[in-house]
Every structure is written in C-alpha cells, then in structure tokens.
A and B are shown apart, each in its own frame.
Chain A
Amino acid sequence: MTKKAFRPDVDAPEYKGAYVPYDIIKEGAIAVLVVVILTAALALVFSSPDEKAITLKTWSNADAVDFARTAGDELSGTSGVAGYGAPYNNGGTAQHWGFLAPAKWMGVHIPINTATDFVLDPLQSQPAQPALTAAINQWKMASSSTVTAWTDAYTKAEPNMTYTNGQVKIPSSGTGPMPVLINYLTQMARTGALDQALVTQNGFYTTNYTKPLLFLSDGSYLASLGAAQHLGGDQWGMMNETGQYPGQAWLWLYTFWYQIPPYNASASGDFLVWGTMMILTALMVLLPFIPGLRSIPRRLKIYRIIWREHYAAQD
C-alpha cells in the first residue's frame, strides 16, 4: 500500500479518541420544542406585517393625475413597461454586459403591449358609449405618424394636467382622442372596473397579476408608498418589508451591491448584481474543490475555539 501526502484542507485524520453518550432523538425533540416555544413567543409579541394591497382603484382615487399621466404614457408607448424589452416586448434594450445579453436571447415570453393591454382592451370591455367608441375607433384608424403627433402634443401638455370636477383635463390641442380615452380609463379605474378588466383578460379564473402589477409599477404612487416604508432600492429595499421587521435579512449581500458603484450607476445594474452573485454563489457551493479558498478556515484558526476542549485534552 502506498502512502500519499496528507492534505490538511481535503483529508481528515482518523479519530481514535473517546466517544460519549448521545441521544439524537432527545436532542431533536428538545430542538423542536424550543423552536415552537420561541416561534410562538415571537409571534405573540411581534406579530407579522400585513399592509393591505393597493389597487388601481385606490391609486386613481388617491392621485388621479398620477394615474392619468401613467395611463397616457401606457397609451403612447413611452412608459417604463412599454420600453422595457424582454420578456415583455421589444420596446427597449435588454440589460447586458458586453455580448452577454441573456434576456435578449430568451426573447419575449410574456407579451405586453401597454396601449392595447392596459388601455384599449379594458376600455372596450365597458358598455358601449358613443364618445368612447368614437375615440377608440379614431385611435385605431390613425396612421402611425398621426399617433406620434398626438402623443407628442399630449406628452408636452401632461405637466399641466389637472383633475377637477371628476374629469381629467389637459389644456392642449392636437392630442386627438387621447384626452377622451385617458379620461374614460381614469373613471373606469376609480370605480374598480379596471382592476377587474386587467386580471380577467385571460378568462374567468385567474391567478396571474402581471398586468395590474406592471401598470402599478409604472406610476409614482407605488414608488412613493414604498419609499415611505423605507423600501426603496437605495434603502436596502429588497431585503426589507413594511414595518419594523427583519425581512429577508439573508439577502443582505445581494442588496448591498445595489448601494455601490458601478452597480447603482449602470443601466444594466440588475444584470451586474446577478452576475456577481452567481459567481460568488458558485464559489460557495464549490468551495471544497477550490485550492486556496478551502485553506482559509485552517489559517483563520477559528476551529481552535470550536474544538478547544479537544485541543486542551491533547495538550
């Protein structure tokens, strides 16, 4: 039999020392009991957060102008979602690093046309009204250059938009049917009908809230509520939750990258963060096989504290 050199970071010596009694079942039972008691105590004392979900109805009633501006952006194709790119549409440049652009490679899998899905289809689901029907037909029949002219004029006038006497008003001409469409959509949202229309586009039964959530994420109302709860991306938001709760504290490293350059200054910041985390995760999983890294514990010597009784007995 040949002998090979002992590799202290790979091999373990054969233990020839003493054994002591160990009741594994009793240990497990005590652990469960302690965790149950601790969990129940924490639940009784601290409870858990349950901030009610917002809706397009609550948004449009709380800030009709913000809703109407966002709806205008959805109709004109200038919103965040309209220019998002994959997996929703081809509206923008997908996040990438050099030639690495996996989102673009995967393509559009959840097709979203903001004008059709968020504005026109919901409006058409409503009982026919002559003014609304005419506005929808005018929009659909218009050439792309005419639509561009309307949306340009509408976008310029948006800062002066008001909501008075139950109507969205925008002081502008040359905006075509857009004021009518957005006013109807705002009225629809304020009654709650838009919430229903967005989730039932695929039929009676649904558990998919992609469309209303994307619509909500385009406005500033959701962002303002999140910021007020200290949940912004620059507030370590992804790992937090509403109220004074620990949230997903285990995501601290993932959230950390969003706070520093170049991640927080790059248009592809999300992709850079995920790329970094994938590399770090691979290093963690494959640690036993990576020379140098697997030597760190032996050099840190923290094990001397863990096994201090063993080493004391040897000395």
Chain B
Amino acid sequence: MSNAQIERQWTSRLRRSVVDKLPPDKLLPDTQPAYVASWIYVFGVTTMAALAVVIATGCILAIDGPQWWHSSSLGHFINSMHLWSVEIFFFAMVVHLWGKFSMAAWRGGRSLTWVTGAVTFLASILAGFTGYVSQTNFDSQWISTQAKDGINSTGGGAFFNVLNLGQMLMWHIVLLPIAAVVLTGLHVIMVRVKGVVPPFEDKAEVSA
C-alpha cells in the first residue's frame, strides 16, 4: 500500500483532523491567558468534580440495588453523599452558567460551547428529577404523583411515565448519565479547542 493510500484511510484522516484541531498542548495546556484570573473560573471544574462524585456514589449505591440504602447505615451515608454532591453539582453549574453569561462566552465562534453547556444543564435537571422519583420512599411517591400532571399535559406522559419506577430508574442510572457525560465531554473539548473567551474590547476588527 502506498503512502498516498494510507493517507486516504478513514483512520488517518480522523487522526489528522483530531490532532489539527486539538493538539496535545491544547488538550492538556500548561499555560493559560493572564485574563483567566477570577474565582468564577473555579465553578466549571467544580461542576465536573461534583459530577465525578455523583457518578462514583451512584455506582456504589448500584452495587446492592435501589433498596439497599434504606436498611444500611453505610448505604444511607453513601446516599447522603450522592444527594449533597448533586446539590454542589447544581450550585456550581448554575454559578458557572451565570458567569459564562456575564462574559458572553459564546463570542468568537463559541456558540456551540454555550449550547452544549445549556443542554447539559437540561439533561442534568432530568437526571436529578429521575433520581428523586427513584428513591423508593415517600419523597418519590409525592414528587412523581405531583409531576405526572405537568408531563402528561405536554403529551410526554404517553412515553415518559414518572409513576413507572423501572423506567425512571433506568433513565436515571443509564440513559441520562450517558447523556450528561457525553455532553460534558463535548463541552470540555469545545472549550479546549476554542480556548477561554477573551475579555470584551471595544475597538477591534475581525477578518472576513
């Protein structure tokens, strides 16, 4: 096989494209622009750290099944960690979102970075909600019976039955975590490809 043939392979093309757009020094940078100097930047990485703890505690809860935490003090503690990491996750994510809004962080070809972040927020809300209705306690009974009316009114209740524990649990532990992790990954890759949005400058021009 000639070099030209090798260069035309899908694998070769994909590797070139990935390395061009995201070379190692962009993926794992060791410097950053001096303007990235505010506490607001901490909340992005805090959101990801909290997501890691949410997933780790969720995995521990999954080992002995959805009822374990009701009868085990260790299980209850892990459930508490799961709950509080979710609270930290959402707190950090909301601060991160408002921070990025204040910076108009979609500027300079970063629109999709904003969109993936916003969609991740929505997927996370759904993940949190399905967790609340999968607790197999009074809270899940109350929240599911209250929430059904809103979802049913949109027609979504025909396929997304919040009173069906099995369906909600599967969404909570399989589909939505996958969505949240994939979306977060895409979001982070876009941040690394485009870099952190620079400050507003009043007098500037761009090439067309």
Interface residues of A (CB under 8 A from B): 1-6, 8-15, 17-25, 27-28, 31-32, 34-36, 38-40, 42-44, 46-54, 84, 86-87, 94-95, 102-103, 105-107, 109-110, 206-210, 213-214, 216-217, 222, 225-226, 229, 231, 233, 237-238, 241-242, 245-246, 248-251, 268, 270-271, 273-274, 281, 284-289, 294, 296-298, 300, 302-303, 306-311, 313
Contact = CB atoms under 8 A, between A and B. Distances in A.
Contacts of B115: 285-286, 288
B118 A12 contact: no
A50 to B, nearest CB: 5
Given A48-B79, A207-B166, A268-B153, A250 B128 contact: yes
B80 A103 contact: no
Given A32-B52, A222-B142, A309-B34, 9 more contacts: A4-B206, A6-B204, A9-B107, A32-B49, A47-B80, A53-B137, A217-B145, A250-B94, A271-B154
Contact of A34 (B49, B104, B201): B49
Interface stretch (B3-11, B13-21, B85-93): B85-93
Given A10-B107, A303-B200, A307-B199, A48 B146 contact: no
B169 interface: yes
Contacts of A44: 77, 80
Given A15-B198, A36-B53, A53 B140 contact: yes
Contacts, number: 299
The 8 closest A-B pairs by CB, nearest first: A12-B108, A207-B166, A102-B155, A288-B106, A43-B80, A109-B158, A31-B49, A51-B138
B111 A95 contact: no
Q: Is the interface of B mostly helix, strand, loop or mixed?
A: helix
B159 to A, nearest CB: 7
Contacts of B48: 28, 31
Nearest to B57: A39
Given A19-B34, A39-B84, A217-B145, A24 B28 contact: yes
A249 B153 contact: no
Contact of A210 (B76, B94, B161): B161
B125 to A, nearest CB: 6
Contacts of A14: 198, 204
A223 to B, nearest CB: 9
A287 B117 CA distance: 12
Interface string B179-190: 000000000000
Nearest to B119: A285
Contacts of A287: 101, 106, 114, 118
Contacts of B110: 12, 288
Nearest to A108: B158
Contacts of B173: none
A287 B106 CA distance: 9
8 contacts: A20-B37, A43-B81, A48-B76, A86-B158, A109-B157, A222-B141, A226-B146, A249-B90
A35 B198 CA distance: 28
A238 B28 CA distance: 41
